[in-house]
Amino acid sequence: MKNMNLYSRGDRIFVIMNMVLLTIFALSTLYPFIYIASLSFSTGFEARAGNVVLTPVGFTIEAYKRVLSEPMFWISYRNTFIYTIFGTLMSLLFIIPGAYALSRPQLYGRRFWNLMVAFTMWFNAGLIPFFLNMRDLGLLDSYFGIIIGFAVNGFNIILMRNFFEAIPQSFEEAARMDGANEFQVLWKVYVPLSKPAIATVALFCIVARWNGFFWAMVLLQSEDKIPLQVYLRQVIVELSDDEEFANTLLTSAYSFETVSAAIIVCSIIPILLIYPFMQKYFNKGILLGGVKE
C-alpha cells in the first residue's frame, strides 16, 4: 500500500481525516502520562487546587524528595528487580528446553505433551486451588515462591516452540554430522538462531514480572519482601481514602496527589527505558504466537 498514488480528492480527504483522528487518539493516549508527570513536579497547593492541566505549576521536586526518602520505596524497588531478573531467568530456563523438546518430531507422545501445555491456556483451577497449592508447597511469603510459581506460561512455550519448528532441519542435521548431542544442538544451533524469539519471550516475562501485583499481594506477608507494585497500591489506593494523611499534606510543598504522581513516574521509568528495545521485537513476537491461535 505504501506508494500507492492518490487518485481522487476524496482519497486525499480520507487520508487526511484518518491522520487527524489517529493523532487525536494518540494524544489522548499520551495525555494522562503528561498530566501525571506535570502533577509530580507541581507544588502540593496548586495540585490540590486543581490548577495542573498540562504543564507543572509552581515547579518543585519536593514530591520526589519525599518519595525517595522513604525506605520502603527502595526496598520494594530492589525486590522488584530481584523478582524481575531471577523470575525471567527462571522462565527462560524452563521455556527454552521445554519448547525445544516439544518441537522435535522424534518426541514420543508429542501431541499429548503439546496438548498438556495448551490446555493450561484454556482452563485453570482458579484462584483458591492455586493459592492452597502454593500454601501446601510452603511457598507463601517467600522470594522463591514468587520466582518459581509463575515461571512457565503456556503461551510463551507455544510461541517459542513455533519458532523452533520454523528453523530448517538442515541446521540440525549439519550439527548432528559433527556429533552434537541434543544439548549441543539446542545450545549451539537453536539458541543462537532464535535470538529474536528468545528476546520476545524474555521481554514478555520482564514486563509481566515488573508489573506483577495481584499474587505478590496475596502470597507475600512480610513488608520487606513486597515488590514495588504492591507498595504503590498501598500508597495510592489505600491512602487515597485516608483523610488524615491527605490533610496533613495539604499544608506542605507536596500533597497526596503530587506524591502519588511522583511515585508513578519513578516506577514507569524502567519500562520506558526498555520500551524502545521491546518495540522492534513484539510485532514479530505476536505474529509468531498468533499462528496457532
Partner 1 sequence: MMRADESSGGDTERLVAEAKESQHYTQPSRLVRVGDHLKREWQLYLLLAPTIIWLVIFLYKPMYGLQIAFKDYSVFRGIANSPWVGLEHFHALFGNDQFLRAVKNTIIISFYSLLFGFPMPIILALMFNEVLQQTFKKAAQTVVYLPHFISSVIIAGIVITAFSPGAGIVNTVLEWLGLDPVYFLTKPEWFRPIFVGTGIWQEAGFQSIVYLAAIAGISPTLYESAVVDGASRWQMMWKITLPSILPTIIIMLIIRIGNMMEVSFEMIILLYQPATYETADVVNTYIYRAGLQGGQYDLAAAAGLFNAVVAFVLVMTANTISKRYSRTSLW
Q: Counting every residue, how long is the chain?
A: 293
- One-letter amino acid at 2 equals K
Nearer to partner 1, 178 or 293 (CB): 293
Task: Tell me the closest approach of the beta carbon of residue 71 to partner 1, in angstroms.
Answer: 20
SS3 of residue 137 by DSSP? coil
Nearer to partner 1, 86 or 113 (CB): 113
Which residues, in sequence order, are CB contacts of 207 under 8 Å at separation 6+? 271, 278
Nearer to partner 1, 85 or 115 (CB): 115
CB-count burial class (<10 Å; 0-12, 13-18, 19+) for 83: buried
Nearer to partner 1, 68 or 152 (CB): 152
In eight-state DSSP terms, residue 239 is G
Site for partner 1 in 80-139 (CB under 8 A): 93-95, 97-102, 104-111, 113-118, 120, 122-133, 137
CB-count burial class (<10 Å; 0-12, 13-18, 19+) for 91: buried
Task: Tell me the closest approach of the beta carbon of residue 274 to partner 1, in angstroms.
Answer: 9
Site for partner 1 in 150-169 (CB under 8 A): 151-152, 157
Site for partner 1 in 42-71 (CB under 8 A): 47-53
Least Cα distance to 96 among 174, 212, 170, 202 occurs for 202
Per the CB < 8 A criterion, the answer to whether 293 and 158 are in contact is no
Q: Return d(Cα 17, Cα 228) in angstroms, integer.
A: 42
Listed ranges 57-65, 69-77, 193-201, 255-263: which one lies at the site for partner 1 (CB under 8 A): 255-263
Q: Based on the shown chain and the rule CB under 8 A, indicate whether residue 179 belongs to the binding site for partner 1.
A: no
Task: Tell me the closest approach of the beta carbon of residue 75 to partner 1, in angstroms.
Answer: 17
Listed ranges 65-73, 81-89, 191-199, 260-268: which one lies at the site for partner 1 (CB under 8 A): 260-268
Nearer to partner 1, 194 or 255 (CB): 255
Site for partner 1 in 17-46 (CB under 8 A): 18-19, 21-23, 25-26, 28-30, 32-33, 35-36, 39
Q: Label residue 104 left, alpha or beta by phi (over 0 means left) and psi (-120 to 50 means alpha).
A: beta
Q: Judged by CB under 8 A, which of 88, 254, 255, 281 binds partner 1?
A: 255
